[in-house]
A and B are shown apart, each in its own frame.
Chain A
């Protein structure tokens, strides 16, 4: 069973702090990873994709991938109350495989 695991939270951080969200995966064949943000009652929205080991930065977001440890993370710098949402991690076997999601981590940013 291919699985993606996330801590369900809630993770609470003060406004302006760094939020760190983590994800582990069991399928060593997974090659591509994605972070989605889902506001309550809305659909998931893609915010980051990462395919290679290391860091990938986009604005206030940094995704990190360590394939040896089967670990993916998302850092949100200068967290804002508008970042409060559930963050979903997903993995896939490159271009051939399906896209498997973790259950998500709920983030709450307190003003």
Chain B
């Protein structure tokens, strides 16, 4: 059963702490997206990778957020230092690009609460 796996599922942390979220994309997919979802803003694209190379991270606050793909089976999103306004659900999605477009499949998400 191919699916995107995210860890942890839930994370509660204190303001100022570092948070690392991990994503295992579906085997064979060459595109990985990171999204943040809140009630007010909906799904916001933070960053995405194609063949492990970052293509766009303009949606990410550069001073505290960083995203990497150390290998084809792992994508990470790090927040340092975390702030209460970072509380949200963070989704990773992966897809296989073709000439038509990229159908993206989502992981279960990481619910982050910063207190």
Contact = CB atoms under 8 A, between A and B. Distances in A.
Nearest to B40: A103
B100 A102 contact: no
Interface in B33-89: 33, 35, 41-43, 45, 48, 55-56
Contact of A99 (B45, B98, B100, B107): B45
A31 B101 contact: yes
Interface of A: 31-32, 34, 36, 42-46, 49, 51, 88, 92, 94-95, 98-104
B49 to A, nearest CB: 11
- Secondary structure class of chain B's binding surface, majority of residues: strand
Nearest to B59: A98
Interface of B: 33, 35, 41-43, 45, 48, 55-56, 91, 93, 97-109
Contact of A32 (B35, B91, B100): B100
Contacts, number: 63
A100 B104 CA distance: 11
B51 to A, nearest CB: 12
B104 A99 contact: yes
A98 B104 contact: no
